[in-house]
Amino acid sequence: MGMSSEEEARKTIANWATDTMTIRYAVGTSERTVEVLTGGYSLADHDERLDPRNSDGKEFITFPLAGGGEILLRHAAIIAIEHRPVEDETQP
C-alpha cells in the first residue's frame, strides 16, 4: 500500500530539514567546508542560484546551516557543492 499525499508531504518536509550538502569555499588561500541544508532544492537548482546571470547583482548567497542558523557566502568564493541525498528509509 502506497503513502497518502499527506504522508508524502510530511516525508518531503522531513527530508528538507535533514537533507544536506557540503559546500567547499575559499577564504584567502585556505579552503574550507560547511554542511548546509538543501532546503528541498536540487543540486541543479543551487547551481542556477549561483549563476552570475541569476544573481541580480548580488555578490552573496545565503544557505541554512545543518546545525541551525545560516551562512552568507560570496558567489566567487564557492569552489564546489557536493550533495549526498538522504536515504529513503521506506525502501528495502
What are the pLDDT digits (tens) for 50-64? 777 777 778 888 888
Residue numbers of the domain that contains 25: 5-83
Q: Does residue 88 belong to any structural domain of this protein?
A: no
Predicted local confidence at residue 92, as pLDDT: 44
Q: Does residue 59 belong to any structural domain of this protein?
A: yes
Distance CA 49, CA 42 (A): 11
Q: Read off the C-alpha cell for 48.
A: 542556477
Q: Does residue 23 belong to any structural domain of this protein?
A: yes
Q: Does residue 91 belong to any structural domain of this protein?
A: no
- At residue 86, the 3 state secondary structure works out as coil
pLDDT at 76 over 60: yes
Model pTM?
0.66
Average pLDDT over residues 26-45: 88
**Number of structural domains found in the chain:** 1
Q: Does residue 75 belong to any structural domain of this protein?
A: yes
Q: Could you tell me the CATH number of the domain that includes residue 76? A: 2.30.30
Predicted local confidence at residue 1, as pLDDT: 52
Q: Does residue 18 belong to any structural domain of this protein?
A: yes
